[in-house]
Amino acid sequence: MREVPRGPGRLPVVGHGWEMWRDPVQFMTGLARVGKIVRVDIVSRVVYVITDFELLHKVLVENSDAYERGLLFERIRLIFRESLIVADGEQHRDLRRLLQPAFHRTELDSYAHTMKRNADALASSWRPGQNIEARSAMLEVVIANVLECMFSHEPDTGELRFISGLVEDIGAGALVGSVLPEKLASLPLPVNRKFLSAGTQLRKYCQDLIAARRAGGGRRNDLLDILLDASADEHHSDEFLAAQAVTVLFGGIDPSTTTLTWALYELSQRPEMASTLRQEVSGAGELAPRDLGQLDYLNRFLNEVVRVHSPLLQTRRTVTAVDLDGFTFPAGTDIGYSLAAVHRNPDIFAEPDTFDPDRWSDSSSGSKSRCFVPFSMGNQMCIGNNFAWMALQTTLHSVLSKWEFHPIGTGKLPRAMGPIPGIGKLPLEVRPVSG
C-alpha cells in the first residue's frame, strides 16, 4: 500500500481526473482556490499538486536535490532517451553546461536577424482579406527559426510539414500517455503508435543532420558544432547527440507555437488592445530585434498571454522524505506543480481570469513579478528562455507591422493537446494595417 503524507490534517482531494479532460484549464487553475497542496486522483495515479508559489520555490530552488523527474517524464523518456529534458542530478547539470553556449546572450543577435527574416517573409506572403490558419503559420515559422538558428539548416516546405506532424503527435502522445493507466499506456493504441513513431522519426532526422554536418566539415558555431565537439571529447554516440538535438528541437517548437497562436487569438478578440499595440509598433518605426524590449505594451501584452496560457502540469518525484506545508511526503511520492494555477492564483493576481496587460505596469516591484515564472525556475528553468522570448517579440512585431487579425466564425475552436493547452486550428482573416 502506498504511504500517505503525514501532517496535522487531511489534504484536500479533487476529482478522479475525468474533470481534467472535460476542461483541463478550469480544472487545474481551480486548484488554487482549493488549497496550497491538493491531492489529484488521475485514473489510477495519485499526484499531489502544488499551487502555492512559496512551496513551489522550496521544491524547485531551495531543496531541488530532494526530487527527481516524475510521472510525466516516464512517458517522454521513450522519446528523449538520455537527454536534458529527462536527466536528473549531476547528469542534468552536465548536459545543461554542454548545451548552454548555444543559448548565450552573445548569440542572440545573430539569431534575432534570422527570426526577423522569417517573420517578415511570412507577413509578406499574406494578401489583403486572406483567410489564414494561424496555428499552422506560427508552427512553420517557429520550426524554421529553431532549425536555422540552432542547426544552420534552412528547411524546405516539405520538411516544415513533416516536422509539424511529428511535433503534434509527440505533444499529444506525451500528455495522454502519461495519465493513462500503465496497461493502456503500453497498448498499441493509435495515440501510442503515433507517439513512438514520431519520436523515432524525429531522432533519425536529427541524426541525419549530425551526420551531414560531420561529412561536410566546416564550422557554423551552432548547436550541432557544440554536440560534435562533445562527441570528440567524450566519445558520445550519434544516438546520444541526436537525443540532445531532439530535446532542443521539440522544446523550442511546441511552447512557442502555442503561445504565438494564443497571442493572435487574443488580439483578434480584443480590438482595442490590438489597436494600442499597433500604434506602439507603428510609432516606434524600424527597430532592431535587440531593441524590442523598449516596446512597453508589446511586452506587457506578452506577459499576460503567457500568464493566462501557462503549462498545466509538470511533475517531480521525491527521492527522500520531504516536508511541505506541515505535511511529510515519503520518498517515491509524485509531486505535481501547475504554473497555470500559480499564475491564476487570486492571492497573487487580482481578478486572475481577466486578460489585462495593464496589470504589468508596475511589474518591476512587488510579489507579482517574483511569482511570475513562465519558464519555471531553478534547475528546471527552460534553457532557451531568452531565445523563446526574442522569438515571440520578433514574430509579433513583424506581423503586427503589416496586418490586423479578425476572427472567422463563432464556432468552438478545436483543442490541441500539449504541455500548454492550445488551439488546434485558428482561422483568421488578415487585413492591412490602416494608415
221 grid coordinates: 558555431
Determine if residue 149 is labeled as part of a ligand binding site.
no
Q: Specify the long-range contacts of residues 109-113, CB closer than 8 Å, at least 24 apart.
A: 109/289, 109/290, 110/149, 111/145, 111/149, 111/387, 111/390, 112/288, 112/289, 112/290, 112/390, 112/394, 113/289
In 291-341, beta strands by DSSP E: 314-318, 322-324, 327-329, 334-337
CA pair distance 334, 70, nearest whole angstrom: 6
Q: What's the residue count for the chain? A: 435
CA distance 139 to 157: 12
Task: Give the helix, strand, coil percentages of the chain, each rounded to 5.
Answer: 60, 10, 30
Using CA atoms, how far apart are residues 341 and 289, in angstroms rounded to an integer?
32
| Paired strand residues for 403 | 432
Phi and psi at residue 13, to the nearest 5°: -115, 135
Count the Cβ atoms, other than its own, within 10 Å of residue 375.
17
Please report the sign of the dihedral spanned by the C-alpha atoms of residue 190, residue 339, residue 223, residue 116: positive
Radius of gyration (Cα) for the chain, nearest Å?
22
Q: Strands 13-14 and 37-42: what pairing?
A: parallel
| Phi and psi based region of residue 423 (left: phi greater than 0; alpha: psi -120 to 50; beta: remaining) | beta
The rounded distance, in Å, linking the Cα atoms of 253 and 424 is 15
- Give the residue ranges of the annotated binding site for heme: 382
